[in-house]
């Protein structure tokens, strides 16, 4: 039981971080300066178009508090798209309850998510970005459902909009 509790604590600590991500802001700004995406906007344009939380997460690599997203409990059929550029990122049939407090998916829509290495907290993690605008989405881990992909895409709900299936 102690090992399970330790594993859960590590997931919360290292899996998806809380609101204090200032270290990532510097690394993210340098990364954005190098990367070229199909949708390019100035910082002022992003600030004007996004809510404060969306801007913090998508453009500054921040993280929302666990359990704070309305999308966490969404069970409707549809598609989760980038809140910055509306690129389809995840399908509802690939969403699962990971118990972490963030929307989780076992796979992305192929080609619409880009990856990079994040070492901001002394732990190497795989960071996920929208492949169209470069917006920070969250991280992917190898502790997802074994019966599907084994992946857990731990995604900030504020980085997503939901489009219900018609």
Question: Which residues are catalytically annotated?
Answer: 154
CA-only gyration radius of the chain, Å: 15
Q: Please answer whether residues 152 and 143 qualify as being in contact, where contact means their C-beta atoms are separated by less than 8 angstroms.
A: yes
Q: Is residue 58 exposed (0-12), middle (13-18) or buried (19+ Cβ within 10 Å)?
A: buried
Nearest to 56 by CA among 11, 100, 22: 22
- Which DSSP symbol is given to 111? T
At residue 52, φ and ψ (nearest 5 deg) are -60, -45
Angle between helices 22-34 and 52-60 (to 10 degrees): 60
């Amino acid at each position: 039981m102690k090992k399970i509790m330790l594993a859960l604590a590590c997931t919360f600590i290292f899996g998806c971080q809380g609101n204090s991500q200032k270290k990532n802001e510097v690394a993210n700004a340098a990364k954005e300066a190098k990367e070229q995406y199909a949708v390019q906007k100035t910082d002022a344009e992003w600030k004007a178009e996004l809510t404060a939380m969306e801007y913090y997460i998508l453009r500054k690599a921040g993280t929302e508090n666990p359990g704070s997203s309305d999308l966490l409990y969404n069970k409707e059929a549809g598609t989760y798209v980038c809140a910055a550029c509306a690129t389809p990122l995840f399908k509802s049939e690939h969403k699962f309850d990971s118990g972490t407090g963030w929307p989780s998916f076992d796979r992305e829509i192929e080609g619409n998510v880009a990856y990079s290495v994040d070492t901001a907290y002394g732990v190497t993690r795989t960071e996920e970005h929208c492949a169209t605008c470069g917006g920070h989405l969250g991280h992917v881990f190898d502790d997802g459902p074994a019966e599907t992909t084994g992946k857990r895409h731990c995604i900030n709900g504020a980085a997503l909009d939901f489009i219900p299936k018609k």
